[in-house]
Chain A
Amino acid sequence: MNLYEFEGKQLFKKHGIAIPKGVVVRRGDDAIQKYNELGIKDVVVKAQVLSGKRGKNNGIKFCGSSEEVRTVCDTLFTINIRGQYVSAVLIEEKLNIAEEHYISITYDTNRKQPMLIYSQSGGMDIEDVAEEKIVKIGLDVRNSEITLLSTLHNDFSNENLEPIARSLWNCFLAEDTRVVEINPLIKTVDGRWIAADAKVALDDDAFYKHKEWEVLEPRTMLGRAPTEREIAVKKIDEGEKYYQGTAGKYMEMDGDIAILFSGGGASIANMDALLKTGLKPANYTEYSGNPPREKVYALAKIVLSKPNLRGLWIAGGVANFTNIAETFQGIADVLDEIKPNYPIVVRRAGPFEKEGLTLMQECAIRNNLNMKIFGKETSMSETAEVLAEMIKKK
């Protein structure tokens, strides 16, 4: 889960990294009142979005009066920043900047270890910084103490950066993050280091170690607030049901074909296949592992509650251990309730496939559904074409 800047900065502060004084303005808040609470005249007003490049895209403005602050806040709440929804606005003291640096820690997938990345050229995308101006140091996740940086690279001793690097490493480990990035890391005119921005991604798989993450507001990167259905699907996997397979992937899209995929690999291959037929998905949904009937029921019910659907594609590969009968029973329970009249195509194989496909067949007969059912003898992509044909004929 990506954090907003203001959330990331609180983590930095917790680990001893200085951040600017600031206040968060939510949608509906009185921006002037917040500005007055801060009590600083010259401020920077920043849109809170889940991915970067705000500066170049009108997401950051400097203001010197309450009127200016209000106008800027009003505008920021009406725009998207590179497709990202503005969930809040952060008003912060304007810093007296002497230098802008860059520092981050993230996992390097090729070396399979965290890498500390540092550059004196901060304030721009690190991808745009020349390779020779970037310092990369591999870190051992088994060692929470990094004290050797000064011996590894002059910058760390000359600039007295060691404490910042150590705090960032503590934050990276203790908060179970996948990425921590400070860009720019500001050196003020009076010689202090301050994190002027924060990019933090939490490791969703470490959720069980962090009760405090439960209060983080729901979010999506799709350029809008998360929908009720998206929030509802997330809840299915919460609590002790977490490990009983997963139903947690539901992303609402603009099309009208409801999607119930199983398996992470099959689901992305099938999205590609569906788009190739010209059909447009109403959602991306995937359940995995071996979820119980109730979980699949809850998921299917939400997926099929979207209005104006024109078709339903239920597809998965040849499962290893998913019980096809159990999971399909959950879907059949929903079809029994809503009896949709749009075309439905089913393609699945794996444990208890015979029972699963039979119970779908029976469900179709008793509800008079327009459904075609396929096993592993027909490939998944072919069944997308079957669905497209059925919809065309209708």
Chain B
Amino acid sequence: MSILITTQTHVLVQGITGKEGAKAARAMLDYNTNVVCGVTPNKAGQEVEGKPVFNFITEAKTQFPEINISAIYVPPFAAKAAILEAINNDIPLINTIVERIPIKDTAYCLAAAKEKNITIIGPSSLGFISPGVGRIGVVGGPLVNEIFSPGSIGVISRSGGMTNEISWQLRQAGLGQSTAVHVGGDLLMGTTYADLLRLFEKDDQTKAVVIFGEHGGSYEFEIVDLINNDEYTKPLAIYIGGKFANILPEGMNIGHAGAIVEKGKGAVEKEKALSDVGVMIAEKYEDLVLLIKPHS
């Protein structure tokens, strides 16, 4: 098994007629993921990669009621409307690749999704992949088969590039991934480390998890509570980037939007808190593989 994707996954692509949307549809189909159709207002009747395009999700769902994931590829100013359309149509899992969504729009969508128990991965998430099962978005890019192979390690990363980088290091060490998720680098995350660790805990295929985290925000501290409550019991190794940021003034932001320098929320403080509950701490990101290999 894997998390988030199964062989029963039926994917809708919002913004499929755009350059990035079309590329993503192609990337998913190339990886044998079941993209069934797309939506772009005023483009009904067209086809992209042989898949029909509808104006609205309601129309798409009439023909494809089995749609259970939407991948959203629209410009930032259209993101809120697109995400809400998916929520209003009860699509249970939404992957939002859109970067630079105003935080107010993100908060709006997350509040609406929560009421309906809908999962949003992102914003600013390039997607997720369960090797051999399918991928949502463009994770792995054209090198996907070089980087990913089925295995027992769950991967969670704030960074799209590092999702690949770490998965590739696992592969080089002879390990594979159960599911690799790019959660996105925004201040507000639709799905957090803790949310995913709960899913990995229940997943038989996953024996251990590695995380690429960053300074700023407080999501890593949720992991501490999770472990203390025995909601996550498998081996976990984490790398937290941005130790150098402690020389920067508070309030400054580097790397991703969520990587803000804050008192008590730096890479060092997070490592200390996690180490205290038994999480393995990687000094360099390359060390994640060394730490997790004995547990694979």
Q: What is the interface of chain A, defined by CB distance below 8 A to chain B? A: 2, 50-51, 82-84, 107, 109-110, 112-114, 127, 140-142, 173, 176, 178, 201, 203-206, 208-209, 221-223, 243, 249, 251, 262-269, 271-273, 275, 284, 286, 289, 316-321, 349-351, 353, 376-377, 379-382
Decide yes or no whether B116 CB sits under 8 A from chain A: no
List chain A residues, Cβ under 8 A from B245: 268
> How many residues does chain B have at the interface if contact means C-beta atoms less than 8 Å apart?
69
Name the interface residues of B239-268: CB closer than 8 Å to any CB of A.
239, 241-245, 248-252, 254-259, 263
Q: For the complex, is B226 an interface residue (Cβ under 8 Å from A)?
A: no
Chain A residues with CB below 8 A from B217, complex form: 109
Cβ of B214 within 8 Å of any chain A Cβ, yes or no, is yes
> In the complex, what distance in Å separates the CA atom of A338 from the CA atom of B226?
54
Question: Which residues on A sit within 8 Å (CB–CB) of B108?
Answer: 141-142
- Kindly state whether residue B280 has any CB partner on chain A within 8 Å: no
CB contacts (< 8 Å) of B244 on chain A: these are 268, 271-272, 275
Of the candidates B99, B169, B249, the one whose C-beta lies within 8 Å of that of A289 is B99
**A209 to B263 alpha-carbon distance, docked (Å):** 31
B265 to chain A, nearest CB (A): 10
Listed A/B pairs (20) with beta-carbon separation below 8 Å: A109-B187, A140-B111, A141-B104, A141-B108, A203-B104, A206-B103, A221-B249, A223-B249, A265-B158, A268-B215, A271-B242, A272-B241, A272-B242, A317-B165, A318-B164, A320-B160, A320-B164, A321-B20, A349-B164, A351-B143
CA distance A243 to B172 in the complex (A): 35
The answer to whether A320 and B168 touch across the interface, beta carbons within 8 angstroms, is: no
| The 9 nearest A-B residue pairs measured at CB | A265-B159, A317-B161, A263-B161, A318-B164, A317-B165, A264-B256, A206-B102, A265-B162, A264-B255
* Segment touching A, from B8-16, B35-43, B133-141: B133-141
A208 CA / B141 CA spacing, docked (Å): 30
Cα distance A206–B242 in the bound complex, in angstroms: 25
Chain A residue with Cβ nearest B252: A221
Task: State A13–B163 Cα separation when bound (angstroms).
Answer: 46
A residues within 8 A CB of B23?
A: 321
Verify A350–B141 contact, CB threshold 8 A. yes
Chain A minimum-CB-distance residue to B124: A264
Would B111 and A141 count as touching, CB distance under 8 A?
Answer: yes
Q: A265-B185, A268-B215 are in contact. Are A273 and B256 (CB under 8 A)?
A: no
New A-B pairs, 11, CB < 8 Å, besides A114-B107, A318-B147, A349-B143: A107-B103, A140-B111, A203-B102, A208-B77, A265-B161, A269-B239, A271-B244, A317-B161, A318-B165, A321-B20, A351-B142
Bound: A173/B107 CA distance, A? 11
Does chain A have a CB within 8 A of B68? no
Q: Give CA–CA (A349, B142) in the complex, Å.
A: 11
Q: With A272-B242, A284-B254, A350-B143 given, is the CB distance from A264 to B168 under 8 Å?
A: no
Give the chain B neighbours of A222 by CB distance below 8 A: 248-249, 252
Residues of chain B within 8 A (CB-CB) of A351 are: 141-143
Cβ–Cβ contact A50 & B251, under 8 A: yes
Enumerate B45-99 residues with CB–CB distance to A below 8 Å.
75-77, 99
- For the complex, what is the distance from the CA of A305 to the CA of B284, rounded to whole Å? 31
Q: Judge whether A317 and B102 touch: CB under 8 Å.
A: no
User: Which residues of chain B have C-beta atoms less than 8 A from A272's C-beta?
Assistant: 241-244, 284
Q: Is B222 an interface residue (CB 8 A)?
A: yes
Q: Which residue of A lies closest to B242 (CB)?
A: A268
- Pick the contact of B286: A286, A321, A381 (CB < 8 A): A381
Are the CB atoms of B103 and A265 closer together than 8 Å?
Answer: no
The closest CB in chain B to the CB of A199 belongs to B251
Q: A265-B157, A265-B241 are in contact. Are A173 and B254 (CB under 8 A)?
A: no
Inter-chain CA distance A377–B243, complex, in Å, is 25
Q: CB distance B139 to A205 under 8 Å?
A: no
The reply to whether the CB of B110 lies closer than 8 angstroms to some CB of chain A is yes
CA of A203 to CA of B102 in the docked complex: distance in angstroms?
A: 7
B126 lies within 8 A of A321 (CB): yes
Kindly state the separation between the CA atoms of A317 and B140 in the bound complex, as whole angstroms.
11
Shortest B293–chain A CB gap in Å is 15
In whole angstroms, what is the CA distance A57 to B102 when docked?
A: 34
What are the residues of chain B within 8 A of A84 when measuring CB–CB?
249
Query: How far apart sit A262 and B162, CA to CA, in the bound complex (Å)?
Result: 11
Residue of A at shortest CB range from B101? A205
Task: Name the CB-closest residue of A to B114.
Answer: A112
Q: Which A residues are CB-close (under 8 A) to B241?
A: 265, 268-269, 272
* Cα distance A176–B77 in the bound complex, in angstroms: 14
A317 and B159 contacting across the interface, CB-CB below 8 Å: yes
Say yes or no: A110 contacts B218, CB within 8 Å.
Answer: yes
* A320 CA / B135 CA spacing, docked (Å): 13
Q: Is B272 an interface residue (CB 8 A)?
A: no
Task: Name the A residues within 8 Å of B164 (CB-CB).
Answer: 317-320, 349-350
CB atoms of A142 and B103 under 8 A apart: no
CB A234 to nearest CB in B, in angstroms, measures 14
Contacts of B286 in A (CB 8 A): 379, 381-382
Residues of B within 8 A of A251 (CB): 254
- Interface pair B75/A127, CB less than 8 Å apart: no
Residues from chain B with Cβ under 8 Å of A289 in the complex: 99
Candidates A50, A173, A269, A353; contact of B162 at CB < 8 Å: A269
Q: How far is the CA of A264 from the CA of B286 in the complex (A)?
A: 17
B227 at the interface (CB under 8 A from A): no
Contacts of B110 in A (CB 8 A): 112-113
Q: Which residues of A contact B251 (CB under 8 A)?
A: 2, 50-51, 201, 221
Report Cα–Cα, A348/B99, bound state, in Å.
22
Residues of chain B with a CB closer than 8 A to A114's CB:
107
